[in-house]
Amino acid sequence: MIHFNDDLLATLLAGLPKPLPDRIGIAVSGGGDSVALLHMASRALAETGCTVLAATVDHGLRPEAAAEATQVAELAASLGIEHSILNWQGWDRQGNLQDQARRARYRLLSGWAQAQDIPVLLTGHTADDQAETVLMRLARSSGVSGLSGMPAMRDLGGVTLLRPLLGVSRKDLRCYLRRQELSWAEDPSNDDTRFDRIKARQALEVLAPLGITGSVLTDVARNMAQAREALERYAEFTAQIALETDMGDVLVDAEVFAGLPEEIRRRLLIGAVCWVSGEEYPPRRAAIDEAMGAIAAGMGATLSGCRILLQKGSIRICRELSAVENVVSPAGEVWDARWRVFGPDSANAVIRPLGEAGLALCPDWRATGRPHAALIASPSVWIDDSLVSAPLAGFDNGWALSLILDEEALFNAFLSH
């Protein structure tokens, strides 16, 4: 009979890339799941030649967090693993705390991995986390992509994020920790019913007699992931036919778009909007459906910092002025995470959106073929209140611009990474 611990180690190894990279990073919060992952990785990779490194993000939101990070460091040291503590100090006490903390955590971890030349980063998400995610997304009327849950692999700014324990229960990992006589920290927020995840965790206990268990919801996620992959392939193939770019905008062939299944239309719209806006996460489904309804009715719309404009034979997705009206960058620096503008040296020049007043100073803008709404949100060069250049509006005045977005990424975005 295979020993219980050996089964878990084999599961972990099966979820790692082949061949193994020289270095693997592990995100360790101090909770039971990530502590188990750290210990299991130290054993499973001990004879492979793969160096394990670990990092803990201290969000600075609880007084106990610093001590918990130190305890992780001590455990890592006992296992011969180099450990780093990453501190987040970016919360302005505005917006959704959990969402901002999650984004900051991944941002800090990916930055750490890149700095340490770590190509693969592991997290300790379990089957229970997957089930809770599916249940929360079900409550939001999510479609196939949402109900496919967390992917086992995704790209994190050039670092491959892996969740090798998505098929392992939280209970099994606690059992492993007890057999190894290891302790772990319990975050008080795990009992705080203000958070949707904790409500979902408690709801699963109530739903279990109906057969809606964590295991069943994990199977649902797996089934939906297979359906999502098929839809992604269809959307990626269609994007090659229906989409093209025009200096930072996306043009969608209106006739092709109208003849597509609704789900593929939705995916094309999401992909185009995310590429233009630079947003990592898609808009809410209700907002997407509203925009699609407007397109079907022959009207334009706004979505996630973008304008959707109906033109003859095409649908143009461009930046919305209100999303960039306060974005100002020195000349030569990146503007709106999309553009770099070059020209004669001028220490006083800044890049900002052209706006209505600026467009009025560009008499030849109609000859560019670009619509008014797209041009007023385009980059332009100013010195104080004087317009120096507006390349996309036909007034370059010795200046030029380049789009730093990867146009190929628009088409690759339809596939999970």
**Residues tagged in the binding site annotation:** 29-34
Closest CA to 413 of 254, 232, 257, 266: 232
Q: Six-digit token pair at 49? A: 């030649």
Which residues does the annotation place in the binding site for ATP? Answer: 29-34
For 368-403, b where at least 16 C-beta lie within 10 A, e where not — what string?
A: bebbebbbbbbbbbbeeeebbbbbbbbbeeebebee
What is the C-alpha R_g of the chain?
Answer: 25
Residues 346, 303 contacting (CB under 8 angstroms): no
> Which two tokens mark 283?
């808009």
Q: How many CB atoms lie within 10 A of CB 304?
A: 21
Q: Is residue 154 within 8 Å of 161, Cβ to Cβ?
A: yes
Number of Cβ atoms within 10 Å of the Cβ of 48: 13
- For tokens 């996460």, what's the residue? 281
* Tokens 């020195």 found at: 330
3-state secondary structure of 346: coil
